[in-house]
Chains A and B, each alone.
Chain A
């Protein structure tokens, strides 16, 4: 008899549906971190990330039989479910998200540094925090692509499976998302009559 650690995700899922609790444990240990991180990176909230992770695996327990291996991997299936739960939470609890399009000016103001561009100092801890905030401030359709491709390091195909869209769409959204991030992180110096002033170029449609 093979150990659970030797089984792939689809085999673990089948065992779990058949009633094997240890298969659920193994699948959870293997995939919970990715789901949790994705939910956190999308929402910026530990509470939402925890809730979403729980709901994703409860969904798997209840409706795991709907998984179709022809449509993609178990991981893509889990991330797709997680994405739906995250978007639902974010739309239901918009008031809890402090960083959105409406707070763009304040956010850009925090990033603006007249003496030092954050792009030149991204290795610093606070800059990492700025990047995290910039990612959270992206519109959902760009944010999810940036999170999946850049932070979760999934390839275009896996991302397309999760988002249920074409690979070309993923590529173009990532391109646009990165451009927006650059705009948000880059302070633009504009010459005025009085001298040099800084303003954020954080504008996106």
Chain B
């Protein structure tokens, strides 16, 4: 054992910590040979006794008795306050979200309905002009409508279901042959060939079932500003002019779709 090794373990030795018995014996033997290390050992033991005396001196220290009362009070309060508010707050948040969602849906429906009603009222003010729908070329009609056959009956037309398609087609063929002989019909045919029409644009929630019991196609004239409502660009030079349109009414009398004709 040299002084350096002794220095490393002297505090453990003075504190009577557990260590290897041989190491302890070597260290103690070294103190008999080296006076400096003997002094180190003595100082460490005196320090330990001083620290022990200090520990004993403070051993009776305790927190003030009123502290326990305060803590017990705090404990009681914490147990009273915690249970419900968290759950209640979270439930309220869910209810508010649900009500907000419902309000948004109702408002959205009301807006759509109001817009639809406005268009229908505008259409109702304009006197209907009917032309034979069968003679109007509709190159890009909506798919839902392509399956329907339209039948002319005076100012009104019937939209047939697919079951009657075959029968109707033969009827149209015969009818068209007769019309060729008529002068008015020839003019109309020439007129139709020059017409360009947009796709049918739905007015509200349109589906095929709306035409199960037939429908009507009515030619009307609308102010050119109506184009803008359907997202079609308007030529401002011709803003005051009228524009032709075909309005498709369902059996319930409600306008289902519209297309613009030029």
A-to-B contact residues, CB < 8 Å: 16, 19, 21, 24-25, 28-29, 32-33, 35-37, 40-41, 49-50, 53-54, 57-58, 61-62, 119-120, 122-123, 127-128, 131-132, 135, 146, 150-153, 171, 174-175, 178-179, 181-182, 185-186
B138 on interface, CB distance cutoff 8 Å: no
A33–B61 CB distance below 8 A: yes
Q: In B120-139, which residues have CB < 8 Å from any A CB?
A: none
Docked CA distance A122–B63 (Å):
27
Task: Specify which of B47, B54, B59, B75 is in contact with A182 (CB 8 Å cutoff).
Answer: B47
Task: Specify which of A16, A128, A182 is in contact with B53 (CB 8 Å cutoff).
Answer: A128
A131–B72 CB distance below 8 A: no
Point out the residues of chain A lying under 8 angstroms from B63, CB to CB.
32-33, 35-36, 49-50, 53-54
A120–B47 CB distance below 8 A: no
A61–B11 CB distance below 8 A: no
Point out the residues of chain B lying under 8 angstroms from A186, CB to CB.
43
Docked CA distance A155–B74 (Å):
33
Point out the residues of chain B lying under 8 angstroms from A19, CB to CB.
79
Q: For residue B76, which residue of chain A has the nearest CB? A: A21
Given A50-B64, A119-B46, check contact A61 B57 (CB 8 Å). Answer: no
Point out the residues of chain A lying under 8 angstroms from B44, CB to CB.
178, 182
Q: In B1-53, which residues have CB < 8 Å from any A CB?
A: 8, 11-12, 43-44, 46-53
A61–B75 CB distance below 8 A: yes
Point out the residues of chain B lying under 8 angstroms from A57, CB to CB.
71
Docked CA distance A41–B72 (Å):
26
Docked CA distance A137–B123 (Å):
95
Q: For residue B55, which residue of chain A has the nearest CB? A: A151
B61–A123 CB distance below 8 A: no
B58 on interface, CB distance cutoff 8 Å: yes
B75–A21 CB distance below 8 A: yes
B-to-A contact residues, CB < 8 Å: 8, 11-12, 43-44, 46-55, 57-59, 61-64, 67-68, 70-72, 74-76, 78-79
Given A32-B62, A58-B74, A122-B50, check contact A182 B43 (CB 8 Å). Answer: yes
Given A50-B64, A131-B50, A146-B51, check contact A28 B71 (CB 8 Å). Answer: yes
B64–A131 CB distance below 8 A: no
Q: For residue A22, which residue of chain B has the nearest CB? A: B72
Point out the residues of chain B lying under 8 angstroms from A175, CB to CB.
8, 11
Distance of B14 from chain A, by nearest CB (Å)? 8
Task: Specify which of A33, A36, A50, A135 is in contact with B54 (CB 8 Å cutoff).
Answer: A135
CB pairs A–B below 8 angstroms (19 shown): A21-B72, A24-B71, A25-B68, A28-B71, A33-B62, A33-B63, A50-B63, A54-B63, A58-B71, A61-B74, A61-B75, A119-B47, A122-B49, A122-B50, A151-B55, A152-B55, A153-B55, A171-B12, A178-B44
Point out the residues of chain A lying under 8 angstroms from B43, CB to CB.
119, 182, 186
Given A122-B50, A182-B44, check contact A37 B58 (CB 8 Å). Answer: yes
User: Nearest 5 pairs between A and B by C-beta?
Assistant: A122-B50, A36-B63, A150-B51, A131-B50, A53-B63
